[in-house]
Amino acid sequence: MQLTIPINKLDIHHSHMSFTLPIRYDSMGKDDLALTLKANDYAFFQIDKSLSEGSVNEDEISVTGKELKQYFLPYIEDKLFPTSLDENGFHRFTKSIMKRFEYKLRTINMSFVIQSVDIILGPFDIAFLTVKVQLDNQDHELADVLDFMHHFRAVEPQLVEEQGMVIICPENGNHLSIRHLLFEYLCPFLEKFILHDDKSNGYSGSLPYFEDERMYTTAFLFCQQDSLITDDQLYRMGALDGRLPNGQLFISANNPNYIQRSLNQSLHDRWAPNTYTVTTEHAFVTVTNCLPKDMSRELSQYMGTHYYNFLLHYFYKIMLLRMSFEYSQIEWEKDEEYVKSLIKFITLFSAGYYSQEVSTRSEGKELSLMFRQAFNIDCLYKEVNTTLHELYKSQENQASDKMNMLLFILTIFTVISGIYGMNLVIEDWESPFGWRQFSSYTFFEWISLVTALSGIGLSAYLVVTTFGKMMMSKLRRKKSNSRMK
Render 238-295 in DSSP notation, one character per residue.
Answer: HHT--B-TTS-B--S---HHHHHHHHHHHEE-TTTTTEEEEE-SSEEEEEESS-GGG-
Which residue, 320, 339, 364, sits at the end of a domain? 320
Confidence of residue 199 (pLDDT cuts 50, 70, 90): very low
Residues sharing a CB contact under 8 Å with residue 13, sequence separation 6 or more, in sequence order:
137, 138, 139, 140, 222, 223, 224
369 in any annotated domain: no
Q: What is the mean pLDDT of residues 70-88?
A: 88
Q: Would the pLDDT of 273 be above 60? A: yes
27 in any annotated domain: yes
pLDDT tens, residue by residue, 402-450? 776 767 666 766 666 555 544 555 555 555 555 555 566 666 666 666 7
b/e 128-158 (16+ beta carbons within 10 angstroms → b): bbbbbbbbeeeebbbbbbbbbbbbbbbbebe
Q: Do 186 and 314 belong together in one domain?
A: yes
Q: Of all residues in the chain, what percent carry a pLDDT higher than 90?
A: 36
Provide φ and ψ at 276, rounded to 5°.
Answer: -135, 150
Asked if 157 and 181 touch (Cβ cutoff 8 Å), the reply is no
Asked if 62 and 53 touch (Cβ cutoff 8 Å), the reply is yes
174 in any annotated domain: yes
Q: What single letter denotes the amino acid at residue 4?
A: T
* Confidence (pTM): 0.82
Asked if 347 and 385 touch (Cβ cutoff 8 Å), the reply is no
Q: Do 442 and 304 belong together in one domain?
A: no
Which residue, 272, 297, 320, sits at the end of a domain? 320
- Enclosing domain of residue 425: 420-483
**What pLDDT is stored for residue 160 in this prediction?**
73
Number of domains in the chain: 2
CA distance linking residue 230 with residue 227, whole number of Å? 9
Q: 473 exposed, middle or buried (CB, 10 Å; 0-12, 13-18, 19+)?
A: middle
pLDDT tens, residue by residue, 216-245? 999 999 998 888 999 999 999 999 998 888
Q: Which of 243, 284, 227 is nearest to 110 (CA)?
A: 243
**Paired residues of 11 in beta bridges:** 141
**Paired residues of 24 in beta bridges:** 126
357 in any annotated domain: no
**What pLDDT is stored for residue 202 in this prediction?**
46
DSSP-based three-state secondary structure for 217: strand
More confident residue, 138 or 291: 291
Helices (H), 304-376: 305-328, 336-352, 362-374
Asked if 146 and 241 touch (Cβ cutoff 8 Å), the reply is yes
Q: How far is CA 398 from CA 324, 335, 336, in A?
A: 21, 11, 9
Q: Would the pLDDT of 53 be above 50? A: no
b/e 70-81 (16+ beta carbons within 10 angstroms → b): ebbeeebbebbb
Which residue, 320, 355, 388, sits at the end of a domain? 320
pLDDT tens, residue by residue, 344-378? 888 888 888 888 889 888 889 999 999 999 999 99
CA distance linking residue 394 with residue 358, whole number of Å? 33
Q: What is the mean pLDDT of residues 253-260?
A: 91
CA distance linking residue 130 with residue 120, whole number of Å? 8
Residue 20, number of CB atoms within 10 A of its CB: 21
**What pLDDT is stored for residue 201 in this prediction?**
45
Q: What is the mean pLDDT of residues 175-180?
A: 89
Which one-letter DSSP state was computed for residue 100?
E
77 in any annotated domain: yes
